[in-house]
A and B are shown apart, each in its own frame.
Chain A
């Protein structure tokens, strides 16, 4: 397994603005953790072709019927918005 990573690139992908200091300390932490998880690369699996389930009880996930159910009102859904206007979320421009 590879431990080469570019912290600035990962932070960009994760949409987190990191200070220089945070970049250094988190790089260091991630290197230590990745070194530990590399133990997995030595694991010889019984079968390489195992079907992978996300549910630990291997329940197959089913899609729900596409039907309208009563839950939150529009006002409730928007009640925690940092900024809203006319029942809509307000955000800064997406392009400069």
Chain B
């Protein structure tokens, strides 16, 4: 058995029994990265030297029986919009190509306390805006299952890295599906925790009321371990919440709702079949399953593409060529700012800043942003009502399997539609997970999404693990080990 294929708990057990050393595992994942990086371009940077030293320290701790963390010596890749002190954080943007972070994000501080190894920084759509990792200023990332296809996005580099076993797990960020969609496209588990349970401090902000950090992993249990390590209230993030978890049943006393609006037109038969397959398994185990209608879900894309760009236009105003990042000269400060932003931002980022600026501008604010906020509140209320009847909601993660590189780049709206199933959880702040369940006729992975009420993350993970064990998806991309 190749150690890079194992789960975190299996690896930790081998470390503890001294049958595998952290340094041996690190060399293996680094070798996997060396084998795959030219073809996939999952990473923007790989950290080698410092990891050899840190892995040797982990070796010593396990050898002396002094390690007390499941994540000690586990190589984890980090999306390049999360700050690690003294390393570059580029957000895959020309704007930040020379930015070196002077501080650690809270999630990084927490992982450092666990003696985790950071394999490197992964590629993303610029400032996490995109669904294919084709909007990176530093080149495309490819899907490890088939390099003609996109890995999804915006955390496409993180998903490709875990898919190719260049890391054991990865951190991504999810504003409208950016963890779950690439996880689904790459045959992995992607978990977006309840909004506010994981600190956003040190995550470069895109849309602050939607952004959430979470793991991309091979198994549900790996996501559970990472969530437990990175969650917790943080005074440095004003939107952070106390992680008081609700306990809801995960056994067959639970009731499951299938979202009607996400099983209709625009969803491929293959994606629907995966949901139906899981539903049949759950029914056979004695779960009560019923169809649920939440009509406002059909407006998710409209609501999202007003709120997210509005927040992005405000958040990205900080890139003005003064305090950090690119500067392009001009005769006045204002000219310098306009020239810097023209040169530093790519097309999709400009598109969203302009859309958000328009939605927030005088005369249009109530019509666009105000209406979107009201609709969002309505959606939150509809979900709350639904969760009085059901414990978990199930749907496809994505309308289709991964699409081909270049297939949707000329049509932004078509690209946005690929997040149809994942956006509602961000708008309502719900925990949501994508679990790999099967392969399409093109031999590409498909996933099923499960959502539950806010702060029921642990129960959601328990229930997802039951699905994972029943479905027994053991597919893995070939040719990288």
Q: A: which residues have CB within 8 A of B? A: 1-2, 5, 7, 10-11, 13-19, 22, 25-26, 29-30, 32-34, 36-41, 43, 45-46, 48, 50-59, 61-62, 64, 71-72, 76-83, 89, 91-96
Give the complex CA separation of A70 and B122 in angstroms: 30
Selected interface stretch from B96-104, B142-150, B249-257? B96-104
Evaluate contact between A18 and B331: CB separation under 8 angstroms. Answer: no
Residue interface bits B340-378, CB-to-A below 8 A is 1, else 0: 011001010011011101100100100110111111111
**With contact pairs A2-B364, A92-B333 given, residues A82 and B321 touching in the complex (Cβ less than 8 Å):** yes
List 7 interface pairs A-B (beta carbons < 8 Å), by A numbering. A26-B347, A39-B299, A40-B306, A64-B238, A83-B327, A89-B323, A91-B336
Is B217 located at the chain interface by the 8 A CB criterion? no
Residues of B within 8 Å of A, CB-based: how many? 77
Interface of B, helix, strand, loop or mixed by DSSP: helix
Given contacts A26-B354, A33-B413, A52-B373, 5 further A-B contacts (CB under 8 A): A30-B354, A32-B413, A56-B210, A56-B454, A78-B323
- Considering the complex, give the chain B residue whose CB is closest to the CB of A16: B341
Which of A10, A17, A40, A46 makes the CB contact (< 8 A) with B302? Answer: A40
Do B302 and A11 touch (CB < 8 A)? no
Do A22 and B350 touch across chains, with their CB atoms under 8 A apart?
yes
Cβ of B303 within 8 Å of any chain A Cβ, yes or no, is yes
| A2 partner residues in chain B, CB cutoff 8 A | 364, 367
Are B361 and A50 neighbours in the complex by a CB distance under 8 Å? no
Task: Assess whether A30 is in contact with B358, with CB atoms less than 8 Å apart.
Answer: yes
List chain A residues, Cβ under 8 A from B330.
Answer: 92
B305 at the interface (CB under 8 A from A): yes
Majority SS at the chain A contact face = loop
Q: Does B463 contact A (CB under 8 A)?
A: no
Interface check B313, CB cutoff 8 A:
yes
User: B376: which A residues are within 8 A, CB to CB?
Assistant: 56
Q: How far is the CA of A46 from the CA of B98 in the complex (A)?
A: 49
Task: Answer yes or no: B472 CB below 8 A from chain A CBs.
Answer: no
Which residues in B have their C-beta under 8 angstroms from that of A40?
Answer: 299, 302-303, 306, 371-372, 375
Contact A29 B351 (CB under 8 A): yes
Binding site for A on B (CB under 8 A): 98-100, 102-103, 194-196, 209-210, 235, 238-239, 241, 296, 299, 301-303, 305-306, 313, 317, 320-327, 329-339, 341-342, 345, 347, 350-351, 353-355, 357-358, 361, 364, 367-368, 370-378, 380-381, 412-413, 416, 426-429, 454-455
> Complex formed: what's the CA distance from A29 to B336 in Å?
26
Could you tell me the distance between the alpha carbons of A83 and B375 in the complex, rounded to whole angstroms?
A: 44
Complex partner residue of B378 from A19, A30, A41, A50, CB under 8 angstroms: A50
> Given B313, B337, B367, B412, which contacts A33 in the complex, CB threshold below 8 Å?
B412
Query: Which residues of the partner chain B approach A77 to less than 8 Å between Cβ atoms?
Result: 102
Task: Collect the chain A residues with CB atoms within 8 Å of residue B209's CB.
Answer: 54-56
Q: Which residues of B contact A79 (CB under 8 A)?
A: 100, 102
User: Is the beta-carbon distance between B332 and A80 smaller than 8 angstroms?
Assistant: no
What is the CA–CA distance of A11 and B354 in the complex, to the nearest angstrom?
7
Task: Give CA–CA (A10, B347) in the complex, Å.
Answer: 15
Contacts of A10 in B (CB 8 A): 354, 357-358, 361
CA A43 – CA B299 in complex, angstroms? Answer: 9
**Contacting pair A52 B374 (CB below 8 A):** yes
With A13-B357, A16-B353, A57-B241 as known contacts, state yes or no: A92 contacts B332, CB within 8 Å.
yes
**Docked CA distance A92–B339 (Å):** 13
B305 contact set on A, CB distance < 8 A: 33, 36-37
Q: Are B345 and A16 in contact (CB under 8 A)?
A: yes
Contact A36 B427 (CB under 8 A): no
* A51–B380 alpha-carbon span in the complex (Å): 12
Contact between A81 and B377, CB atoms less than 8 A apart: no
